[in-house]
Amino acid sequence: MLKTREKLIDIARQLFALKGIENTTMNDIATAAEKGRRTVYTYFKNKKDIYNAVIESESDIVFAKLNDIANQPLPPDKKLMEFIFQRFDAMKDLVMRNGSLRAGFFRDIRKVERARKATSPKETRILQKILQEGVDAGVFRIKHVDKTAMVMLLCLQGLDVPYIRDNFAEFGIEKNKLRDYLNDFILYGIKQ
């Protein structure tokens, strides 16, 4: 039974990427999966439900990569920077891999916010783990690790679109220097 659900999610992802979410019907998904419409509706109430399952499935790939980083035997400051850039690359891969989902990602902020609402708590927990490790090791001085992790994630999300579009040059920022700039800002702050 689980295999059928996973197959439907994968077929839906492919169709959404190829035709767009708006142009894909539940019937299209059933036909491509060689299943009846009733089978699709057994697993998903509607197209929004299957879209959310696609987002969740895609985000699981991202979280596996981010968890791997959090569990690496690196110093906390190096681990934090690795988390940040692996996250950017994973988000870019996710958006680019999904064809016309890419256009929807940039056009419809509500879809982005819905996807982030589902993924942000998981990302925040991983980030909290890294920050707490740094506090425990005496590398970071953070009073409220949970709130700092959330604020940091919100800041990173603000950089997602420029990173995915690869348009930092428009802002006078060389992409190959972004790591240095973020390293300085996050690890050393701006105060003398």
The CA distances from residue 161 to 21, 68, 170, 190, in Å, are 20, 24, 13, 24
Cα torsion through 119, 128, 68, 4, rounded to 10: -30
23 pLDDT above the threshold of 60: yes
* Whether 128 contacts 118, CB under 8 Å: no
Tell whether 133 is covered by a domain: yes
Cα(132)–Cα(127) distance, rounded to whole angstroms?
9
69 pLDDT above the threshold of 80: yes
Tell whether 129 is covered by a domain: yes
Cα(28)–Cα(31) distance, rounded to whole angstroms?
5
Tell whether 168 is covered by a domain: yes
Output the pLDDT for position 192: 65
122 and 32 both lie in a single domain: no
103 pLDDT above the threshold of 60: no
Tell whether 167 is covered by a domain: yes
Cα(10)–Cα(173) distance, rounded to whole angstroms?
37
Output the pLDDT for position 118: 72
* Whether 144 contacts 173, CB under 8 Å: no
182 and 117 both lie in a single domain: yes
Domain extent, residue 74, equals 54-188
Nearest to 55 by CA among 22, 91, 106: 91
134 and 184 both lie in a single domain: yes
102 and 170 both lie in a single domain: yes
The pLDDT tens digits for 167-185 are 888 889 988 888 899 989 9
17 and 92 both lie in a single domain: no
10 and 59 both lie in a single domain: no
pLDDT confidence band for 61 (50 / 70 / 90): confident
100 pLDDT above the threshold of 60: no
The total number of structural domains in the chain stands at 2
Report yes or no on whether pTM surpasses 0.85.
Answer: no
Tell whether 106 is covered by a domain: yes
